[in-house]
Structures are given as structure tokens and as C-alpha cells.
């Protein structure tokens, strides 16, 4: 069984890895917009958005409202300015550094002080926002005009409510305080069209959450039926910061329900620097409506969801690619992708106002933290686990329980591997015994098989018939349960592969010695070695080569098969561990640790346990009327009928 496991498991894993290499996730095809999207550049503070077909169809055409007289009062700032807010306690949820700007009335940058750019920082360094994880904004110093998050843009049926693009206007900015403590910012703009726009941000103490409100006040216009639709961009720029080349980030995402009672599903589109389609639909029109929209990477997310009272104003979501003017490769400048939420606001009667409130999550992709702000946000974690979540989620819970016992994620992975091996040991032992007896019987029959090959060298059909008869007479059939342990272990392996690949718990968690982050390759030291066909190898990772050595060692300990073809296959499979090591060279150290432990336990079992508890390979009496005997009888019956038909002709 172990021999088959070493053949089938790597082959399946190569298929999985090869699929990710050669069929990397690309944006699903969408119906292009009626109007071509504008090429959006990070240096363009306005971030001109394409009026997408979905938004236009959602916002029912209404008779354009005439602009108000120019004499109507205009309320706006005269000079661009920024406001920096530091809220919360570093190292705790709810700690942020936010840079607000009145140009467009939104966020230029958002950093979380609950998580840091590297492990092992001193308390003084942890208090320095330079070491905080950047959730929104371009962290590069040479970026002259960082993109604007929470920009509000008009669409065709709301165009008459503005004179200049709202994302370019200088909004009035006021800091909100409570008991002398800064808690947020309010932006106000009256463009002189008879309405006043208000955007309000408030940080929720102790949570990875902001409360965002947008208001539309009618100052001088006659009320008209029908909503006014706007594009709201909650996350304009999320810098890839996981260091994982296997996870495409950032991604624009939206959650939706097919019906009111259905579970939230997620559509997520990864960035595509080469371009292609530049915009498309994220949340399709469904009876259940859109639950949330935002952008996420491997470990962090910024998501926007309407509060229960504002659910009807959430009209859908679009994805849109963004150019990077500082892109190193001018042929692939589309390094960012954003989600635009369509927000519908009714134009109220004169003197009244319409408000829509939203919960904003800005923090780690931890399922409990996501659900604490909005239960719908937890669907993003389920999406990352994909169809393997039914296996990966219980494994993550078990891993968390083991970590609670030993306080080390590395030790927890080792214990999880040991636990799986112990649970499957009885099945493994039974399978190994059956395979050993089958191998012993085949060795005894090998001379007779060779004799048949010589006798029927030129009659392949007769050779197969005689070999089958010999096998039936001797009861030499592979045990049906020989592959059962392998099939039980494969879901565990693939589930753990997925779980370790996205688990936030492993981020910046050390193990021993040079292994400082189980979520990244072990990176012993930097080598910057250029290899043909592979490119530049930046770091020497020791765990993958160690894994290859143990796999080869384990394979060499397998008994040589009696069959010549099986022996050739075993020699060919000696190269499989090397290929696995190449594919997994830059994968998470936690997965390498799991595979090293698995191979080490298998070697321990073969060298130690079998020494004191040898496998009984004595042949057992032939079973009468067994499965294979019945199958061979059916085959002989079919052959007899075939010969009878031939004689009849």
C-alpha cells in the first residue's frame, strides 16, 4: 500500500499543482460594458470609472433633472488638505492609522496597528505605524498621488446632481470627537446643484470595524421618483503583502444570495496585470441581493456591507482593473483591481435627507473576526477553502485545539500528522499484511508466469487467458482493501494543503531555528541564484530538499516487486519526489513540515515497528467463491461463448 501511496499521492498532487501553474485563475468572462472603461491610473486622483452596463441597467432611466440655478450656495473647501487619525491601542483590534483627504472626501491610507509587517518587533517598533500592516493605500514612497478609497462617483441618472466629478471635489472635512477623543471624520459637499452630500466615518472601538454613512440632502430641488445610483469604491488599493506566489492578490470580491434564505456565495476576481477585460459584474442580479463587496488578499480584507436598514440601497457590485503608473513592467501595468458597489439613494423631498449606513470590515481573514462584524463576511473564508472546506475546516479546528494544548503551531502540525497516522494504523497494518502475502505469492508464481510467457510468446490472447487461469487456481489477486488507507489519507492531505495555504493562524508563527514563519518558505538565507527554466531562486529553503531525501529513503525501503513491469515503474517513480520538491520549493513551511513528519513516521514504522512486530506474509489458504474467483468464472464463460460463436460461423 505504501508503494502505491507514493505513486498515486504524488501524481494527484502534481495534477493539483500543475493545474495552478498552467491554469491559474483568470477573471471569468463577463458581458462587456456598454461603454468602454476608462483607463484608470493611480496618479489620477479622480480615478475615473467606467459607467458599467450593469449599473446602467440597475439604475432605471429617469428624466434628467435640470441643474439648479448657479446662484445656489456652494459648500466646499478651497485648498487640499489631509487629516491623520490614530485610534485604538497598538497590538489590539481597533488600532488604526488613517489618512483622510478632502480631495474626493475619502481615505488615502489605512494601516492596522493590530498586526505588523514582520515578527519579533520590540514594543517600541510595534508602536511605530511604519511597521503596521497597510490595508489600503500605496506604501511606496515614490507614489505621488495614492488612490482614493470610499470615493463616490455619479452614474448617468445621478449626473445632474454634480458639477464636477465628486471624486475631484474639495469636500469640507471635520474631525468627529467624543469626550475629547477623535473617533472619525465627516465630509460635506454642496456642489451648487441644489443638494448636499455627506460622508461620515466612525471607528468602532476594540473591533476591526468602521461605520460608514452616506447622506443625500435635498436643499432646493423638486422631489422626483426613482433612486439615484452612485458607484462607491470601499478599497481602492490593497498592496500584496503576503509574500506567497501561490495566492493571487489582491482580488475583488462580492457576496450574494441566490434567494433570501440561501447561504452567501462569493464571486472573486484576481488581478490580471496583462489587462484583458477591464471591468465586469461581481454580484449578479439575484432575488437574495448583494451581501457585501470589497477587496482581499491572502491574509487581510476590506469589505463593505449595508446595515439591515440599508440593504435595499445595495444594488450590486462591479470589478474594475486599475493601472499602476510605477509598474516595473510597462506591458503588464494592471497590478490592481477594485470592487465598485452600486448604491441607490432616493432623492427626498425638499428639506429632507436620505441616509445609507454600512459596516466596513478592515482586518484579518480570520473567520471569527469576520463574523463578529457581519456574519456574511465569513463566506469569504469558506470561499478560500473552496470545495475542500468540508475537510479543511475540521482540520483547522483540530489544529487549533492541538495548538491550545502545546502553544506551538509547528508542534501542533506534527501532532496532527501523528494523530492521523495512529488513527489509520490498523487499516494500514491490515493492508500491508494483505499486500505482503500477495507479493510473496507472486514471487512463488513468477517462474510459472515466465514459463507461460515463453510458451505463448506469439499469442497474446492465449497468454492472458492462461495467466488468468493460473491466478484463479492459486487465488493470486490483489487485495481489494489495499488502497483503502491511501484513499482515506488523500483527503486529509489535500485538505491540509488547502488549510495551511490560507490559515491566518500560521502567519508569522515560528517553529524552530531558522523557521520564523510557518506560512512562508523557511528561507534559510538569501542566495539570489539564477537557474535556467526556473528563473531566480532568491532563498535557500532547506525543508523541501529534506522532504525529498526522506521520500526517496522511504521509497528505497520498499521491497522490490516480483513483477518486471512493476519493478520498472518503481524505478521511474524514484524521480517523483524530486519533482515534488521542485513544485513545493516555495510553498509554506507548515506543509513541508507535515510531509516531512509523515515520511519520518512511515520510515519509523518500517524500521522499528516492523522489526519488533514483523508483518505476517505467510500465504493463506485459497478462498472459495471469492470475488475474483467469480469474476474469473464470468470471464471464462464469456470466452467460451465467444469461441462458440466463432465455431458457428
Tens digit of pLDDT for each residue in 165-183? 999 999 999 999 988 889 9
Query: What is the per-residue pLDDT for 15?
Result: 52
The residue-averaged pLDDT of 423-449 equals 80
Q: Which fold has domain 149-373?
A: Beta-galactosidase; Chain A, domain 5 (2.70.98)
Q: In what order do the strands lie in the sheet with 314-322?
A: 151-154, 227-233, 336-346, 314-322, 279-283
Higher pLDDT, 626 or 19: 626
Query: What is the per-residue pLDDT for 342?
Result: 94
User: Helix-strand-coil percent breakdown of the chain, rounded to 5?
Assistant: 40, 25, 35
pLDDT tops 90 at residue 264: yes
pLDDT tops 60 at residue 242: yes
117 torsion bin: left (phi>0), alpha (psi -120 to 50), beta (else): alpha
pLDDT tops 70 at residue 551: yes
DSSP-derived letter for residue 259 is S
Q: Which residues of 373-399 are buried (b: 16+ CB within 10 A; e: fewer)?
A: bbebbbbbbbbbbeebbebbbebbebb
Query: What is the per-residue pLDDT for 483?
Result: 65
Higher pLDDT, 12 or 268: 268
> Would you place residue 43 in the very low, low, confident or very high pLDDT band (cuts 50, 70, 90)?
very low
Backbone angles phi, psi at 353, to 5 degrees: -140, 150
In this predicted model, what pLDDT tens digit does every residue of 286-301 receive, in sequence order? 888 899 999 999 999 9
> Would you place residue 406 in the very low, low, confident or very high pLDDT band (cuts 50, 70, 90)?
very high
Residue from 394, 378, 278 nearest 336 by CA: 278
Query: For 274-277, which contacts have Cβ atoms below 8 Å and span 24 or more sequence positions?
Result: 274/331, 274/332, 274/334, 275/321, 275/332, 275/333, 275/334, 276/26, 276/27, 277/27, 277/29, 277/30, 277/32
Residue that has been written with the C-alpha cell 510467457 in this structure: 453
The residue-averaged pLDDT of 574-601 equals 86
Residue from 66, 26, 416 nearest 222 by CA: 66
The full DSSP string for 416-485 is HHHHHHHHHHHHHHHHHHHHHHHHHHHHHHHHHHHHHHHHTTT-HHHHHHHHHHHHHHHT----GGGGHH
pLDDT tops 90 at residue 273: no
Length of the chain: 649
Task: List C-alpha distances in Å: 27 to 31, 327, 331.
Answer: 12, 20, 18
CB 334, CB 272: distance < 8 Å: yes
Residue boundaries of the structural domains of the chain? 2-17+400-612, 149-373
Query: What is the per-residue pLDDT for 34?
Result: 34
pLDDT tops 50 at residue 36: no
Euclidean distance between CA atoms 239 and 451, whole angstroms: 69
Q: Which residues pair with 188 in a beta bridge?
A: 172, 198
CB 177, CB 265: distance < 8 Å: no
% of the chain beyond a pLDDT of 70? 81
Model confidence, pTM: 0.79
Amino acid at each position: 500500500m505504501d508503494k502505491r501511496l507514493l505513486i498515486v499521492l504524488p501524481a494527484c498532487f502534481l495534477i493539483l499543482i500543475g493545474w495552478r501553474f498552467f491554469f491559474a485563475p483568470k477573471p471569468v468572462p463577463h458581458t462587456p460594458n456598454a461603454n468602454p472603461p476608462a483607463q484608470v491610473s493611480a496618479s489620477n486622483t479622480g480615478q475615473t470609472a467606467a459607467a458599467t452596463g450593469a449599473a446602467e441597467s440597475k439604475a432605471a432611466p429617469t428624466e434628467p433633472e435640470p441643474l439648479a440655478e448657479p446662484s445656489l450656495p456652494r459648500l466646499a473647501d478651497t485648498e487640499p488638505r489631509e487629516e491623520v487619525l490614530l485610534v485604538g491601542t497598538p497590538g489590539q483590534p481597533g488600532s488604526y492609522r488613517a489618512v483622510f483627504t478632502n480631495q474626493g472626501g475619502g481615505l488615502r491610507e489605512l494601516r492596522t496597528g493590530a498586526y505588523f509587517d514582520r515578527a519579533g518587533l520590540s514594543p517600541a517598533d510595534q508602536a511605530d505605524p511604519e511597521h503596521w500592516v497597510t490595508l489600503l493605500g500605496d506604501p511606496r514612497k515614490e507614489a505621488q498621488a495614492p488612490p482614493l478609497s470610499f470615493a463616490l462617483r455619479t452614474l448617468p441618472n445621478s449626473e445632474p446632481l454634480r458639477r464636477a466629478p465628486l471624486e475631484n471635489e474639495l469636500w469640507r472635512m471635520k474631525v468627529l470627537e467624543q469626550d475629547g477623543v477623535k473617533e472619525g471624520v465627516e465630509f460635506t459637499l454642496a456642489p451648487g446643484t441644489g443638494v448636499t452630500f455627506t460622508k461620515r466615518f466612525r471607528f468602532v472601538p476594540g473591533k476591526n470595524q468602521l461605520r460608514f454613512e452616506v447622506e443625500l440632502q435635498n436643499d432646493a430641488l423638486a422631489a422626483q421618483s426613482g433612486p439615484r445610483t452612485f458607484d462607491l469604491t470601499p478599497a481602492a488599493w490593497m498592496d500584496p503583502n503576503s509574500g506567497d506566489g501561490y495566492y493571487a492578490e489582491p482580488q475583488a470580491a462580492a457576496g450574494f444570495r441566490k434567494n433570501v434564505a440561501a447561504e452567501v456565495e462569493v464571486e472573486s476576481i484576481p488581478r490580471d496585470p496583462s489587462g484583458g477585460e477591464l471591468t465586469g459584474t461581481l454580484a449578479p442580479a439575484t432575488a437574495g441581493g448583494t451581501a457585501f463587496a470589497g477587496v482581499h488578499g491572502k491574509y487581510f480584507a476590506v469589505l463593505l456591507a449595508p446595515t439591515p436598514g440599508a440593504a435595499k440601497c445595495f444594488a450590486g457590485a462591479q470589478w474594475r482593473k486599475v493601472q499602476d503608473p510605477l509598474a516595473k513592467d510597462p506591458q503588464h501595468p494592471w497590478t490592481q483591481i477594485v470592487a465598485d458597489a452600486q448604491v441607490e439613494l432616493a432623492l427626498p423631498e425638499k428639506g429632507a435627507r436620505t441616509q445609507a449606513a454600512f459596516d466596513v470590515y478592515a482586518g484579518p481573514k480570520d473567520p471569527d473576526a469576520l463574523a463578529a462584524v457581519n456574519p456574511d463576511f465569513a463566506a469569504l473564508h469558506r470561499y478560500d477553502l473552496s470545495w475542500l472546506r468540508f475537510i479543511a475546516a475540521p482540520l483547522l479546528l483540530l489544529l487549533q485545539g492541538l495548538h491550545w494544548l502545546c502553544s506551538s503551531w509547528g508542534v501542533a502540525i506534527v501532532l496532527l500528522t501523528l494523530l492521523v497516522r495512529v488513527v489509520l494504523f490498523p487499516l494500514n497494518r491490515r493492508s500491508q499484511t494483505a499486500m505482503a502475502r500477495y507479493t510473496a505469492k507472486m514471487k512463488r508464481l513468477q517462474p510459472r508466469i515466465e514459463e507461460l510467457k515463453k510458451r505463448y510468446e506469439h499469442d497474446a490472447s492465449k497468454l492472458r487467458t492462461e495467466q488468468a487461469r493460473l491466478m484463479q487456481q492459486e487465488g493470486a489477486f490483489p487485495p481489494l482493501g489495499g488502497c483503502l488507507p491511501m484513499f482515506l489519507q488523500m483527503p486529509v492531505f489535500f485538505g491540509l494543503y488547502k488549510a495551511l495555504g490560507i490559515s491566518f493562524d500560521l502567519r508569522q508563527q515560528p517553529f524552530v531555528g531558522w523557521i520564523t514563519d510557518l506560512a512562508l518558505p523557511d528561507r534559510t538565507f538569501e542566495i539570489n541564484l539564477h537557474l535556467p527554466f526556473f528563473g531566480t531562486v532568491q532563498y535557500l529553503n532547506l525543508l523541501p530538499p529534506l522532504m525529498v531525501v526522506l521520500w526517496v529513503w522511504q521509497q528505497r525501503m520498499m521491497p522490490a516487486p516480483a513483477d518486471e513491469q512493476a519493478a520498472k515503474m518503481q524505478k521511474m517513480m524514484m524521480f517523483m519526489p524530486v519533482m515534488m520538491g521542485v513544485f513545493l520549493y516555495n510553498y509554506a513551511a507548515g506543509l513541508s513540515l507535515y510531509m516531512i513528519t509523515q515520511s519520518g513516521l512511515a520510515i519509523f514504522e518500517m524500521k522499528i515497528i516492523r522489526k519488533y512486530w514483523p508483518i505476517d506474509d505467510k500465504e493463506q489458504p485459497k478462498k472459495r467463491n471469492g470475488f475474483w474467483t467469480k469474476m474469473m468464472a464470468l470471464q471464462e464463460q464469456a470466452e467460451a461463448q465467444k469461441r462458440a460463436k466463432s465455431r458457428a460461423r
